Structure 1
Amino acid sequence: MEMFLMMFISFYMFMLGNMIYSSKRKHLLVVLLSLEFMVLSLFFFLMIYLINIDYEFYFLMIFLVFSVCEGALGLSILISMIRTNSNDYFQSFNLLM
């Protein structure tokens, strides 16, 4: 019962992050924060699942490495976008330039 509750909480966190991602898509910073929130909820779910089946946690380390790389790439895109456009609105970002 306890595992089911924790899995439900992680699923709820993922859906909340998904809702924020789809509703607040004008600013790049909010999009990146909601993506990181979804990654944390997936990490929480994987941790609960691996504890439940008595598996090793090496996969979690690989998952964390990839999520850190994703976060660093998102921050570098945000910084370059702010330097060129002086804001983080998607509407002012012209892809044809």
Structure 2
Amino acid sequence: MNFSRESSILNVMEPIVSNLFDDNYVKTNSLKCSCEKCKMDIILLTLNHVSPHYTSTQAGEAYIKALFLNPQLQSDVLREIIQSVKIIEEHPNH
């Protein structure tokens, strides 16, 4: 099967990680560097360390997002974000 930009396959972890990162770091201005490159590197590094959760339907997306309302799962993702922030702040790519 070919995957292209037209296909509606979504890794639901992308918006989950992005939203948690925004809520806990971007909106609170708690980053050493808040340039777009550093923010993107933090999100990408985090996504490389969390399990992907793919879906192709809105119902599947809603189901996966509902699972991540669980405080423990949010905590697990936030722990990975914290690790990514530390790494990128110590070794920025700019």
- Please say whether Structure 1 and Structure 2 have the same fold, judged by a TM-score greater than 0.5: no
Q: TM-score, normalised by structure 1?
A: 0.35
Structure ID, larger Rg: 1
Scaled by the length of structure 2, the TM-score of the pair is 0.36
Indicate the structure with greater helix content.
1
Greater RCO (Cα-Cα under 8 Å, separation 6 or more): 2
